[in-house]
Amino acid sequence: ETGVTQSPTHLIKTRGQQVTLRCSSQSGHNTVSWYQQALGQGPQFIFQYYREEENGRGNFPPRFSGLQFPNYSSELNVNALELDDSALYLCASSGQGAGANVLTFGAGSRLTVL
């Protein structure tokens, strides 16, 4: 069983640019969540996708957007990058159904905005 994979692992952008981060969910998982982890902080929920639709959103502006594909993989897009967008972006997948909401996290994509 493969885990959650994210790409790229590291990238550097400049203010005003746009970035796309990618995530492949764990086999059998149909829900993908994205989190932003700033340096020295805990992860903050950005949004979640289920059945290719956004299914909940945290306190992030509209320039943070996402997609989920029929194979349950997902993208996070950030437009008009700001310096404060520098962070580790974590993708997590989970399966809908009874039981605990157990999320499996990827290793993250570290974005630096200059």
Partner 1 sequence: GEDVEQSLFLSVREGDSSVINCTYTDSSSTYLYWYKQEPGAGLQLLTYIFSNMDMKQDQRLTVLLNKKDKHLSLRIADTQTGDSAIYFCAEVPNFGNEKLTFGTGTRLTIIP
Residue 3 corresponds to which tokens in the numbers above?
């885990």
Q: Binding of partner 1 at residue 62 (CB under 8 A)? A: no
Mapping DSSP to helix (H, G, I), strand (E, B) and coil, where does residue 58 land? Answer: coil
- Cα–Cα distance measured from residue 18 to residue 114, given in angstroms and rounded to the nearest whole number: 13
Q: Binding of partner 1 at residue 73 (CB under 8 A)? A: no
State the nearest-atom distance from the C-beta of 17 to partner 1, in Å: 24
Q: Pick from 58, 60, 65, 75: which binds partner 1 (CB under 8 A)?
A: 58
Widest distance between CA atoms in the chain: 44
- For 84, phi then psi, to 5°, come to -70, -5
Q: Which residue stretch of 13-21, 68-76, 77-85, 98-106 sits at the interface with partner 1 (rule: CB under 8 A)? A: 98-106
The residues binding partner 1 (CB under 8 A) are: 4, 31, 33, 35, 40-45, 48, 56, 58, 90, 92, 94, 100-108
